[in-house]
Amino acid sequence: MIERESLIRRYCHSTTGVIGLVILAFVVVMAAFGPIIYPVDPWAMVARPLQWPLIDTDAPLGSDILGRDVLSGLVNGARVSLIIGVSATAAAVAIGVTIGALSGYFRGIMDDILMRLTEVFQTIPNFLFVIVLVAVFSPSVFTISAAIAVVSWPPVARLVRGQFLTLRQRAFVESCVVVGMSTPRIIFTQILPNCIAPVIVTSSIMVATAILIEAGLSFLGLGDPNMMSWGAMIGFGRQSLRTAWYLTLIPGVAIQLTVLSISFVGEALNDALNPRLG
Amino acid sequence: MKRYLVRRAGQALVVLVLIACVNFLILNLAPGDVVDVLAGESGAGDIEYLQQLREQYGLDRPVYVQLGHYLLNLAQLNLGHSLRFQLPVRDLILMRLPATLLLMFSSLSLAFIGGIVFGVAAARSPGSMRDSFISTMALLAYSTPLFWAGLMLIILFSVKFGVLPSGGMRTIGGPDDLYGMVVDVGRHLILPSITLALFYMATYTRLMRASMLDIYNMDFVRTAKAKGLSPLKTAYRHVVPNSILPLISLFGVQLGSVLGGSVVVEVVFGWPGLGTLAFDALFQRDINLLMGILFMSSILVIIVNLVIDLLYSWLDPRIEVEA
């Protein structure tokens, strides 16, 4: 018998996966402890306005048009991005798994209704829908996460439905039905664990997308007004694009690196969880 | 074929009605109603007057009557009135739609062609330097916020090199003969198109690569190689045409996302389309206009998907079209 490599070892086959994980870990640490290690208020005037990076020790990464510290904005923005990325994805996965499981397990009329509903949410242009939702319910971390969740669950629902449709007919599930196992127990202990791997891979991509959507929202001025975020920094920096382009460049690179690292992790997870494809 | 068409159109109609219901639900869940907004604007606080206004707008009637009314209005494409622009929402949208369609068309064509070119280049030698370079670039484009890419392009091409305009659709006081106008709009179109295309070019590249690698394993490709066709001819005669199909269906799936992406890109470049209209509506709290844009965009997505479904079954007759 060939011994299967552990998940971690399989993951480490991917160089980009390891790089992604390192960058992501750095961002997570920055989000968690950054504001404690570097306790500068991102809204406070701490330096001369429009100070270029690496010149003034008051603002190591420069200051914006109001003299606010770019580094502090970066550190605090990591928090917003990650909180919204993770919570929106968690909510979307919860909705998607529920709907997909119900329609894949029960089929028939339930499937018809739920799939029409999925189609509706897939048809409405995502980003516009988020804008409308956030504008109507006024922006906060909660409404932004909820709005992103509302638009991003359909792919999960379709994925889980497909898995349920095939797994439902497998012998091990039918034998559970025969021995009289209750429906919820079959769903939760038999089928669900078997379709968790593709859901994990999809959700890693969803975190990345959610971070990009949040950045777009706060760039348009629809971010949580009490939180400094990367997108908002780009929005502020845009006003002085011609003279102080570092204000736009730095937070943009932060978004790009974070999203890229999550994509790397997602790809490596995909390869590690589906070793047949390797 | 006819039955399939009728069935698909019926499904599309159901989805459309449901989308309208979702819109209605949002409007009803929103804190405050139209009258509150109006009252807030005019500063009037007379409760009797407000009551009268509510009656006038039918807001005192039961929810299902209001919903019926709302759906009836939408069926006639009566999207209400924009309080700020003092124009019917439908007219405003139709005025701005051409600019957005132009931007979407040019950037999607760019993404489509670029995606095929890079996808073919990567898939023809999988695992090579070229392949990993293209794949990495695609992943990078995938992780770049559209608006930021646009701003970076402005810095590079308008601020540093000064070769392309940084915003707008036409030069003020520019040429007014037809040829000059086309060239002028074309110059303004370049940067926003590239910006919007980047992300989608990355997805098309990845899909084209995967799809080509799939097709390379098929029997007819082996036959082509066996009869002595050169690798180049095998690729372009047999593999590429068969690999493009999945890209077409992705086109339909992504249309909604392109419309969303064009909002930020239009705002960055001041492109006078639906996106900037949505942005203005947002800032003037013109929810009616915003909902109208959302609804019309959804209709656009439905129609294009219907067309793509038909196109797809025409291009690939293996796909069952019987109802």
User: Mind listing the pLDDT tens digit for each residue in B131-168?
Assistant: 888 988 898 888 899 889 999 998 888 888 877 887 77
| A105-164 tens-digit pLDDT | 888 888 888 888 898 898 888 899 999 899 888 889 999 999 999 999 999 999 999 888
Q: Which of residues 180-239 of B touch A (CB under 8 A)?
A: none
Residue B111: predicted pLDDT: 92
- The enclosing H or E element of B87 equals strand B87-88
- pLDDT for B15-33, tens place per residue? 888 888 888 888 777 776 6
Taking an 8 Å cut-off on Cβ atoms, the answer to whether B282 and A131 are in contact is yes
The per-residue pLDDT for B248 is 82
Compute the CA torsion angle A67, A73, A76, A81 (nearest 10 deg). Answer: 150
Q: How many CA atoms, within 13 angstroms, populate the side-chain half-sphere of residue B149?
A: 23
A contacts of B148 (beta carbons < 8 Å) = 215, 219, 234, 248, 252, 255-256
Which residues 204-223 on chain A approach chain B with CB closer than 8 angstroms?
208, 212, 215-216, 219-222
Amino acid at B272: P
Residues of chain B contacting residue A220, judged by C-beta atoms under 8 Å apart: 263-264, 267, 279, 282
Rounded Cα distance, A72 and B105, in Å: 41
To which H or E segment does residue B4 belong? helix B2-29
Contact, B197 vs B114, CB < 8 A?
Answer: yes
Q: Rounded to whole angstroms, how far apart are CA atoms A62 and A47?
A: 8
What type of residue sits at position B196? L
**Number of neighbouring beta carbons within 10 Å of residue A60:** 18
- Report CB contact under 8 Å: A132, B279: no
A190-201 burial, b if ≥16 CB within 10 A, otherwise e? bbbeebeebbeb
How much is the pLDDT for A7?
A: 77
Instruction: List the single residue in B145, B151, B294 with the smallest CB-CB distance to A129.
Output: B294
* Nearest-by-Cβ selection for B18 from A120, A208, A263: A120
Give the count of Cβ contacts less than 8 A between chain A and B: 146
Q: Report which of B122, B147, B204, B139 is spatially closest to residue A205, judged by C-alpha positions.
A: B139
With cut-offs at 50, 70 and 90, classify the pLDDT of residue A166. confident
Cα(A131)–Cα(A213) distance, integer angstroms: 10
Whether the CB-CB separation of B199 and B141 falls below 8 Å is answered with: yes
Q: Are A70 and A56 in contact (CB under 8 A)?
A: no
Please name the residue that has the structure tokens 């003037």. Answer: B284
The verdict on a CB contact (< 8 Å) between A256 and B144 is yes
User: Across-strand partners of B81?
Assistant: B88
How far apart, in whole angstroms, are the C-alpha atoms of residue B296 and residue B79? 9
Residues A173, A176: Cα–Cα separation, whole Å: 5
Interface of B with A in 281-310 (CB under 8 A): 282-283, 285, 287, 290-291, 293-294, 297-298, 301-302, 305
Contact between A220 and B263 using a beta-carbon 8 Å cutoff:
yes
Tell me if B147 and A127 make a contact (CB, 8 A cut-off).
no
The residue of chain A nearest to residue B260, with distances taken between CA atoms, is A127
- This prediction has a pTM of 0.88
How does residue B1 score in pLDDT terms, banded at 50, 70 and 90?
A: low
Q: Which residues contact B205 (CB under 8 A, 6 or more apart)?
A: B114, B115, B118, B119, B122, B134, B138
For the segment A206-216, what is each residue's pLDDT rounded down to a tens digit? 999 999 999 99
Q: How far is B177 from chain A (nearest CA, A)?
A: 32
**Close Cβ partners of A78 (under 8 Å, ≥ 6 residues apart):** A27, A30, A31, A34, A230, A254, A258
φ, ψ of residue A132 in degrees (nearest 5): -60, -45
Helix, strand or coil, per DSSP, at residue B195:
helix
- Compare CB distances from B143 to A123, A125, A256 and report the shortest one's residue: A256
- Average of pLDDT values for A20-45? 86
**Tokens standing for residue B51:** 């009551």
Q: pLDDT tens-digit profile of B247-303?
A: 887 887 788 888 888 889 999 998 898 989 988 888 777 777 888 888 888 888 888
- Choosing among 1.10.10.10, 1.10.3720.10, 2.30.30.90, 3.40.640.10, the CATH entry for A2-277 is 1.10.3720.10
B34: confidence class by pLDDT, cuts 50, 70, 90: low
Cβ–Cβ of A123/B298 closer than 8 Å? yes
Residues of A whose CB is below 8 A from B29: 136-137
In contact, B302 and B90? CB cutoff 8 Å: no
Residue to mutate among B147, B203, B301, with most A CBs inside 10 A, is: B147
Around Cβ B27, how many Cβ atoms within 10 Å?
17
Q: How far apart are CA A201 and CA B196, in angstroms?
A: 26
Q: Specify whether the CB–CB gap between B166 and B159 falls below 8 A.
A: yes
pLDDT one-digit tens code per residue, A234-272: 988 888 877 888 888 999 999 999 999 998 898 888 888
For the stretch B308-323, pLDDT in tens is 888 877 777 766 544 3
Cross-chain CB nearest to B259 (options A125, A135, A241): A125
pLDDT of residue B166: 79
Yes or no: say if B119 and B208 are a contact pair by the CB < 8 Å rule. Answer: yes
B196, B262 contact by CB (below 8 A): yes
In this complex, which of B15, B264, B298 lies closest to A125 when CB atoms are compared?
Answer: B298
Alpha-carbon distance B208 to B246, whole Å?
Answer: 8
Q: Do B302 and A123 touch (CB under 8 A)?
A: yes
Band of pLDDT at residue B192, cut at 50, 70 and 90: very high
Question: Are A189 and A196 within 8 A, CB to CB?
Answer: no
Average pLDDT in chain A: 86
The answer to whether residue A24 scores a pLDDT higher than 80 is yes
> Closest chain A residue to B155 measured between Cα atoms?
A242
Contacts of A127 in chain B (CB under 8 A): 257, 259-261, 263-264
Q: How many CB atoms lie within 10 A of CB B241?
A: 11
Percent of chain A exceeding pLDDT 90 equals: 27
Q: Which chain B residue's Cα is nearest to A126?
A: B257
Quick count: other Cβ atoms within 10 Å of Cβ A237? 24
Give the gap in angstroms from C-alpha B228 to the nearest C-alpha of chain A: 30
Interchain pair A120, B257: CB under 8 A: no
pLDDT at A1 over 50: no
Give me the mean pLDDT over the B218-245 stretch: 84
Residue A216: list chain B partners with CB under 8 A: 145-147, 264
Tokens found for residue B16 = 């459309």
Please state whether beta strands B81-82 and B87-88 pair in parallel, antiparallel, or not at all (unpaired). Answer: antiparallel
d(CA B277, CA A145): 25
Stretch B84-89: mean pLDDT: 80
Answer whether A178 touches B (CB < 8 Å): no
Rg of the Cα atoms in chain B:
24
Give the residue from B189, B47, B42 showing the smallest Cα distance to B105. Answer: B189
* pLDDT number for residue B39: 64
Torsion angles phi and psi, residue B37, rounded to 5:
-65, -50
